[in-house]
Structure 1
């Protein structure tokens, strides 16, 4: 097969991995957010309701992370090797956080140590979110060391935590009632403000310090779509805020997802054609043509099943979750 076919397959896989990543961030993001928010509630009845809202989907959501890792290993082995070497500690912290969450959900019903496991669940969720923020920050900075990079990564971690809290809070607005819903609505407004503030700071810092990304933004035909996406992000934030003030229940979660997707699209445009800014391009990282083609057939069979199963889950368990003490 010629180089054109190889380039087309590499770009296709870059897009597919981006799709897997956004599916993971949105789905596991809201249940990580719910887990973090349990740390802010004292009543075990509230913890029970919050965990119940994600109890039927949290493990399926994390499947996207497994598929993402496998796809990255097969389609872009050079990028996988580089990232695992540079990100060993945050990746291990991420895995530890996910293990803590899984164990806590199973053992939190213990009569004697239930509160301890609730804390483990919340802390595990927070550790996983911070780890993902650190990973994102390191990738965007191209693994350049220095004080400015450390500050950038710190703000990125704060932004990811705030963003996941936003997804979790809007999910609770959708799934809970009464005082818990009102509390989640208030927290969603605060989380949205922190998320947008972090995004603005990171955008400005990238423009000033991010040499590779700044160069990409300066290329012809790149700034215009980024400006459109920036406007859409501002509209999504305004839409989200209005919905929360108006008392809408389902729509704020959709608005938060829209904000994430628009922001992610801007990130993809900012990175391409680099896989890792200033380090590795998509073409340099890609596997050979036959491997990419074979994997494309496989993911074409798996993708519809995964997406269909996820949609079926959300459809079956739709509706509000009400505490047994209220029933």
Structure 2
């Protein structure tokens, strides 16, 4: 392996971008998930509990997306420029959706008729999940045109949405009680099946439609690591089913988080050293060494604070929520 300073810096920033992304996907993923599930929640008091479950954490969750965008712009400007140019529409829809969600959360509590804001919140959550799936599908296929690529992107959009719904449902299992908790358990089963089916289709599609991934999987040791990660994901799905059966409160959410972590690790291993398959590698897209070093010093200060703050707020607001009607 090349151990030059340039190589080490680019690999370090590839890993840091991955850390930002996985923190965003998990933290904002569950509150996007509860937003999606709110569309299927009929009782207003249940929706009150759904909003109460994320009221103190949703805005901090989205800071990871801001950090991700800034880090990508500074560390890999070539990839940032190509993604914005090629994915302008879904990125703008994503930003608009997040704005709609924020407005709905802030204005809902003062509204006499909450249903309109509830719909805006749910639709914004759904659009945000779908557009993130579209971006993922486009990146994996290397921004390639064609029916096969578009079909893969559609499956990716459905898969990300189902995965977020799984995170949201399991989060509600540990945060709400009574009838809504039982409903959340049913949502967990449905979203788990959709997520598993999408994961299988996406894995097969990635192998079939991406020559770069095929070559990467053929490298010594890579396939064995991916098999180990896939095994962990399968066992996590099994554990979710078991935890639901025995009435566990925290177990389903923890297993869902583990599924996302191992899935993302498998994707990162499959794509490395590509950032955009067929277009840019981490070395070709990276900034100059002084820029990477300067940013590394800054992020070394900020990242522990961000992680510590997130952990602290989840600790403070732990336990079941009580909605005031």
For Structure 1 versus Structure 2, the TM-score category normalised by the shorter chain is over 0.9
TM-score, normalised to structure 1, is 0.97
State the match for 1:287 in structure 2. 287
Native 8 Å contact 2:9 2:293 kept in 1? yes
Q: Distance in 1 between matches of 2:323 and 2:79?
A: 46
Q: Secondary structure at the match of 1:320?
A: coil
For residues 31-86 of structure 1, the C-alpha deviation after alignment (integer angstroms, 9 at most, x for no partner) is 00011111001211111110110000000000000000000000001111111101
State the match for 2:204 in structure 1. 204
Shift of 1:109: 2.4
Shift of 1:112: 3.9
State the match for 1:48 in structure 2. 48
Q: Secondary structure at the match of 2:4?
A: helix
Q: Secondary structure at the match of 1:275?
A: strand
State the match for 1:102 in structure 2. 102
State the match for 2:128 in structure 1. 128
For residues 103-123 of structure 1, the C-alpha deviation after alignment (integer angstroms, 9 at most, x for no partner) is 001111244442101100000
State the match for 2:181 in structure 1. 181
Of 160-169 and 211-220, deviating more is 211-220
1:234-313 pair list within 5 angstroms: 234-313=234-313
TM-score, normalised to structure 2, is 0.98
Q: Distance in 2 between matches of 1:148 and 1:79?
A: 23
State the match for 2:17 in structure 1. 17
For residues 175-224 of structure 1, the C-alpha deviation after alignment (integer angstroms, 9 at most, x for no partner) is 00010000001111111111010000111111122222112111222111
For residues 249-296 of structure 1, the C-alpha deviation after alignment (integer angstroms, 9 at most, x for no partner) is 011110000011010000000000111111100100111111101100
Q: Distance in 1 between matches of 2:129 and 2:207?
A: 25
Q: How many residues align?
A: 324
Shift of 1:241: 1.4
Q: Distance in 1 between matches of 2:324 and 2:288?
A: 56
For residues 160-182 of structure 1, the C-alpha deviation after alignment (integer angstroms, 9 at most, x for no partner) is 00000000000000000010000
Runs of 4+ in 1 over 6 A off after TM superposition: none
Q: Distance in 1 between matches of 2:10 and 2:198?
A: 32
Shift of 1:3: 7.8
1:59 equivalent in alignment to 2:55: no
Shift of 1:24: 0.2
State the match for 1:117 in structure 2. 117
Unaligned 5+ segments in structure 2 are none
Q: Distance in 1 between matches of 2:243 and 2:3?
A: 49
Native 8 Å contact 2:52 2:323 kept in 1? no
TM-align CA RMSD: 1.2
Q: Distance in 2 between matches of 1:127 and 1:281?
A: 30
